[in-house]
Amino acid sequence: MWSRNFDRNREDVFAIQDEIAVEVVRALKGALFEAEETERLTRRRTDNVEAWQAYLLGVREMPKRSIPALETAKRQFERAIELDPEFAAAYVGLFDAIGLLNEYGSLSRAEVDANQWLLDAALLLDPELGEAYASLGLRFSNRDVAPFIFVRAFKKAIALAPSYASAYQWYGNALRDGTYRYEESLALHRKAREIDPLSEVINVNVAFSLYGAGHIDEAIREYEQIIERFPGYPFGHWGLGLTYWTESKDLVQATRELHKYLEMDPQALRYGSSLCEIYLDLDAPDAAQKCLDRLVEIAPDHWVLDNLRNQIALYLGQPSTSIDLSRATVGATGAGRYVRAEFFARDWEGAREHYAQQWPQLFESNLPEAIPNVLLDTLRVAYVLMQMGDEDRGRKLAQDVLEMIERHGQYLARNREDVIAHAVLGDTEAALAALRAVPATGNRYRWWTMRHDPVYDSLRDTPEFQTVIDELAADAARQRAELEAEGLMTVPGA
């Protein structure tokens, strides 16, 4: 079969595609090949050759995850729909492209929400379209719903489209980011890579799942291979930069990679803003502000910029400024979900109200459970509850976090959650023991919050606490000087 020739006219592209698909699967499965598989493999998506070509061009661009590539994909899917308004898969492609332009670029959440109908239309046109269920699972996983709901959507997607690599990728993402099931996530991402080994974003997700599971050396090797194999793919630099930033103490190499990412894809604000954030971890608020000013020129209303403004205000010890910013933006952009201004100002009533809007499940039960993917916020809620006299619920949440760290591994404590949990529970000795280990760990992510975050109040006057802060500040100054010598303390294009 492998040496057969298939000769057809251009107009017969679908016929030859169907014939090749059936012959390949029959050769691989032999006697196990069934008639229903023939039906599934040859089910026609569109009879319009030009619409199919436009769709394939869009699919080709999606894994690159750069803003130009995603915008090209969006245009191609729109063209496919224009050429064939009943082409269900093109609606799914357009839905996904719009969502990714929000995640990576400057498209607003409102624009994404306004296009939810695309997925509904796809399922109406083709209720058995596996790709649509994969996108439905992705939508559910981003909406804080119970995990069994997105699991069911992804499993249906895989049953209907077992060769659709993105279904495995997004399923793996949901398990990794929402439930800490890192090994299952890694297996799904490796399965996706078996199906589509040339997908840049799938390769990155293999690396990111290795990172999440604490296999740091493997993750770094994966990222380095991605950068070598896909030299035009910017996100490999971001992933490698994040790994150095949070695991190796090497802010110099992390900044080099994040700088390269923004240089390669200057419109990618959400992840490009990481460069501004790392400047704060280098104790360089002026550089962070200039970085923010540069991004404002690109998309002044993007929510990630509100987040950066809040971070800079908190770094400077100005929680009142951060409160004003949060009140002005939280309703429109959700920036308050990322920076808890009222909490830093020790406005417990305001913080409680603010948190209850974001995480109502932490307040609705007498025995609330920690939220796996927001352990730091869970601990801050615990602290607020205890400050307001709700000792039992606060202690329950803090103890949950400690148990999760013990069960899943120390890599869950990337925001020093172990230190905070012990401090919230009043175990100063255990908190200081965990704190003393901080400088030796690779994590430098938002270390400066220790200067102002109320969860450290019980530790702040101890000599050990000040020693750790001084050590981290000296390390940041040393690395900042090296980056200044390389000219990397300014944002690309500034």
Could you state, in chain order, the average pLDDT of each consecutive group of 10 residues for the chain (494 residues)?
A: 53 56 47 46 74 96 94 97 97 96 82 92 96 95 80 96 95 86 93 96 96 91 97 96 92 97 91 96 97 89 84 90 68 46 90 86 83 86 95 94 82 82 96 93 90 96 96 97 97 80
The verdict on residue 247 lying in a domain is no
How many structural domains are present in the chain? 2
407 in a structural domain: yes
In a domain, 92, yes or no: no
Residue 390 belongs to a domain = yes
Tell me: the pLDDT tens digits for 364-410?
878 888 887 788 999 999 999 999 999 999 999 999 999 988 887 65
This prediction has a pTM of 0.86
- Looking at the domain assignment, is residue 305 inside a domain? no
Over residues 331-374, the pLDDT tens digits come to 444 434 434 788 999 999 988 988 888 888 888 878 888 887 78
In a domain, 351, yes or no: yes
In a domain, 410, yes or no: yes
Q: Which domain holds residue 19?
A: 10-41
Mapped to the 3 state alphabet, what secondary structure does the chain carry? Answer: CCCCCCCCCHHHHHHHHHHHHHHHHHHHHHHHCCHHHHHHHHCCCCCCHHHHHHHHHHHHHHHHCCHHHHHHHHHHHHHHHHHCCCCHHHHHHHHHHHHHHHHHCCCCHHHHHHCCHHHHHHHHHCCCCHHHHHHHHHHHHCCCCCHHHHHHHHHHHHHHCCCCHHHHHHHHHHHHHHHCCHHHHHHHHHHHHHHCCCCHHHHHHHHHHHHHCCCHHHHHHHHHHHHHHCCCCCHHHHHHHHHHHHHCCCHHHHHHHHHHHHHHCCCCHHHHCHHHHHHHHCCCHHHHHHHHHHHHHHCCCCHHHHHHHHHHHHHCCCHHHHHHHHHHHHHHHCHHHCCCHHHHCCCHHHHHHHHHHHCHHHCCCCCCCCCHHHHHHHHHHHHHHHHCCCHHHHHHHHHHHHHHHHHHCHHHCCCCHHHHHHHHCCCHHHHHHHHHCCCCCCCCCCHHHHHCCHHHCCCCCCHHHHHHHHHHHHHHHHHHHHHHHHCCCCCCCC
Is residue 372 included in any domain, yes or no?
yes
Residues 340 and 307: beta-carbon distance below 8 Å: no
pLDDT tens for 69-107 read 999 999 999 999 999 999 999 999 999 999 999 888 878
